[in-house]
């Protein structure tokens, strides 16, 4: 194993006393004040995350639109400049390479935001597919730092602390801002289920912004609460809810797979699963007890026979219940189905529920 | 700095035992609660269950992860701290005050294999 990489804010996390742990090949802050406090700050006010570990890939060239639409499940031809789409890159068998955001920077000019743990794999995959297209693939992951300002007070904070007016940005759009001479990207996006913004900029600019946000008393947040926040609102984490074995159809993200557009990698399998039903399904589970289901725990039917496993589970923070998302055989995927979760030595009763446990509060 | 109380016995897996006569109150140390963060669930055995030194008897769960509870002593559970069922966060407030199980000790010589406060202090500072 190679050493974990540092983001441009690493020294600040350490100096501020954050609990650090490896994630996606980076030494990242897991928590500052505590997961519960940080989670509640984002749900009720505002918090800031260092998400500089995320990867950025710039794709340009005469066939950039055609190419990105071929490796991506959503339909980027429907997007205007300044627009952003969420979707997946798939293997030919429909399994997920990664889930990502595509920013439309201009005609045949796209900015892809990918998961930290997948940067090397994704870039290799993209380059492999790009051979047949007239495009240029530029991995800019090392050049960008990124912060996410999230919560109902995010818009106010962006203006008051960073002097960036975001009132003109609608959900899933971005703008380029000249910030003291640095060209930065500001988008109304996030991974918490709350209103919020993500800023992509040079390392120096991100460091300056972080200092200003800290001076203003904005709660620094770690990846711990990023996971509880995204989980409660049903957002997937690559590696848990999306993997090379899990298609977006199994995961219930068919909305982001546009089967009516021209060919893209993985289309056939997705079309078949959509028509005939996928063999497995991602479901929400609510336990009847306080015991906590964790990633990898076995899910069983009423006869204690294994029918799947937990992909993510927590004692909810905004939701005062033990809840999980699990991948189960499709026969057990209907709402209301009684199932059991094997936790240590016991089996705990659970019921299949919607996997969005808490409502999102996006500002559309 | 983690709090350590004189007169208690400590295990390498960060449980403590407070001995009163033939009984031992078992819980997790202040150091352990600090390392775990917000405790959101305590999986406890039932009264009359047998526990064995070195064996799991339950788990303490933080938001992020489950940590097994390893019994430092053998014996019979005569009481569980029911307050933790509704308020597991009591462990974060005062880990030593909020013991998890009370055990009727079957072999008090097992206590000799545990650390005293000074040894535990040195152990966590290693």
What is the reported pLDDT for A364? 74
Within an 8 Å CB–CB cutoff, is residue A85 touching chain B? no
Chain A residues with beta carbon closer than 8 angstroms to that of B91: none
Chain A residues with beta carbon closer than 8 angstroms to that of B85: 290
How far is Cα of residue A132 from the mean position of the Cα atoms in its chain?
A: 29
* Residue A199: CATH number of its domain: 3.30.1360.120
* Residue A234 pLDDT level (bands cut at 50, 70, 90): very high
Which residues pair with residue A284 across a beta bridge? A325, A353
Would A127 be classed as within a structural domain?
A: no
Mean pLDDT score across all residues of chain A:
97
The half-sphere exposure of B29 on its side-chain side, counting CA atoms within 13 A, is 28
pLDDT at position A1 over 50 = no
Would A37 be classed as within a structural domain?
A: yes
pLDDT at position A51 over 60 = yes
* Residue A345 pLDDT level (bands cut at 50, 70, 90): confident
* Chain A residue whose CA is closest to B86: A290
Architecture of domain B9-107: Beta Barrel (2.40)
Q: Do A291 and B43 touch (CB under 8 A)?
A: yes
Would A220 be classed as within a structural domain?
A: yes
Chain A residues with beta carbon closer than 8 angstroms to that of B67: none
User: Following DSSP, what letter does each residue of A249-313 receive, concatenated?
Assistant: TTTT-GGG--TTSS--TTHHHHHHHHHH--SEEEEEEEESSS----TT-EEE-TTS-EEEEEEEE
Surface of A (243-302) touching B: CB under 8 A? 290-292, 294
Give the model confidence (pLDDT) of A118-139 as tens digits. Answer: 999 999 999 999 999 999 999 9
Would A3 be classed as within a structural domain?
A: no
* Chain A residue whose CA is closest to B69: A344
What is the reported pLDDT for A140? 98
Give the closest of A31, A322, A344 to B37, CB-based: A31
CA–CA gap between residue A233 and residue A275 (Å, rounded): 27
Task: Provide the domain count of chain A.
Answer: 2
What is the reported pLDDT for A2? 57
A217 and A294 co-located in one domain? no
> Which residues of chain B, if any, have pLDDT below 70?
none
Q: Do B41 and A34 touch (CB under 8 A)?
A: no
- State which of A210, A232, A254 marks the end of a domain: A232
A353 and A296 co-located in one domain? yes
A287 and A228 co-located in one domain? no
Would A71 be classed as within a structural domain?
A: no
Chain B residues with beta carbon closer than 8 angstroms to that of A19: 37
Mutate to test the interface with A, among B40, B46, B69 (most CBs of A within 10 A): B40
Give the model confidence (pLDDT) of A63-103 as tens digits. Answer: 999 999 999 999 999 999 999 999 999 999 999 999 999 99
Report the DSSP pairing between strands A47-50 and B75-80. Answer: unpaired
Helix (H, G, I), strand (E, B) or coil at B122: helix
CB contact at 8 A, A148 and A198: yes
Chain A residues with beta carbon closer than 8 angstroms to that of B41: 290-292, 315, 322
Report the DSSP pairing between strands A109-114 and A96-106. Answer: antiparallel
Would A319 be classed as within a structural domain?
A: yes
CB contact at 8 A, A296 and A288: no
Which residues span the domain enclosing A47? 10-52+144-232
Supply B10's token pair: 């400590």
Q: Do B63 and A294 touch (CB under 8 A)?
A: no
Would A179 be classed as within a structural domain?
A: yes
* Residue A293: CATH number of its domain: 2.40.30.110
Q: Do A315 and B40 touch (CB under 8 A)?
A: yes
What is this structure's pTM?
0.93
Q: What is the ipTM of this complex?
A: 0.82
């Amino acid at each position: 194993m190679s050493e974990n990489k540092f983001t441009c804010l690493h020294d600040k996390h350490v100096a501020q006393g954050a609990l650090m742990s490896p994630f996606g090949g980076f030494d990242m802050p897991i928590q500052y004040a505590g997961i519960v406090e940080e989670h509640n700050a984002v749900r009720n006010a505002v918090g800031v995350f260092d998400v500089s570990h995320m990867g950025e890939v710039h794709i340009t060239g005469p066939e950039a639109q055609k190419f990105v639409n071929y490796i991506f499940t959503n339909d980027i031809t429907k997007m205007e400049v300044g627009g952003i789409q969420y979707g997946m890159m798939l293997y030919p068998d429909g399994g997920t390479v990664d889930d990502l955001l595509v920013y439309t920077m201009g005609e045949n000019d796209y900015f892809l935001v990918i998961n930290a743990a997948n940067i090397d794999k994704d870039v290799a995959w993209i380059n492999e597919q790009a051979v047949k297209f007239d495009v240029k693939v530029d991995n800019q992951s090392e050049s960008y730092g990124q912060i996410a300002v999230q919560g109902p007070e995010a818009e106010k904070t962006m203006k008051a602390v960073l002097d960036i007016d975001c009132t003109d940005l609608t959900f899933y759009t971005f703008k380029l801002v000249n910030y003291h001479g640095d060209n930065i990207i500001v988008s109304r996006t996030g991974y918490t289920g709350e209103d919020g913004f993500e800023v992509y900029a040079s390392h120096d600019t991100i460091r300056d912004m972080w200092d200003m946000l800290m001076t203003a008393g904005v709660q620094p947040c770690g990846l711990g609460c990023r996971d509880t926040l995204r989980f409660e609102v049903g957002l997937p984490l690559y590696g848990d809810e999306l993997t090379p074995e899990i298609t977006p159809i199994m995961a219930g993200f068919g909305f982001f797979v546009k089967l009516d557009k021209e060919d893209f990698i993985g289309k056939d399998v997705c079309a078949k699963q959509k028509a005939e039903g996928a063999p497995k399904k991602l479901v929400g589970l609510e336990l009847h007890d306080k015991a906590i289901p964790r990633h990898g725990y076995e899910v069983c039917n009423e006869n204690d026979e294994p029918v799947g496993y937990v992909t993510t589970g927590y004692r909810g923070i905004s939701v005062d219940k033990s809840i999980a998302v699990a991948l189960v055989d499709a026969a057990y995927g209907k709402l209301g189905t009684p199932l059991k979760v094997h936790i240590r030595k016991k089996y705990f009763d659970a019921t299949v529920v919607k996997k969005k446990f808490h409502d999102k509060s996006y500002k559309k | 700095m983690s709090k350590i109380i004189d007169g208690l016995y400590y295990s390498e897996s960060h449980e403590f035992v407070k001995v009163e006569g033939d009984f031992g109150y078992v819980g997790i140390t202040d150091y352990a609660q600090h390392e775990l963060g917000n405790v959101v669930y305590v999986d406890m055995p039932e009264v009359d269950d047998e526990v064995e030194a070195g064996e799991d008897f339950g788990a303490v769960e933080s938001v992020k992860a489950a940590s097994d509870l390893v019994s430092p002593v053998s014996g019979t559970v005569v009481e569980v701290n029911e307050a933790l069922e509704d308020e597991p966060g009591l462990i974060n407030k005062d880990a030593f005050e909020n013991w998890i199980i009370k055990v009727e000790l079957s072999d008090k010589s097992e206590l000799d294999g545990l650390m005293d406060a000074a040894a535990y202090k040195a152990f966590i500072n290693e």
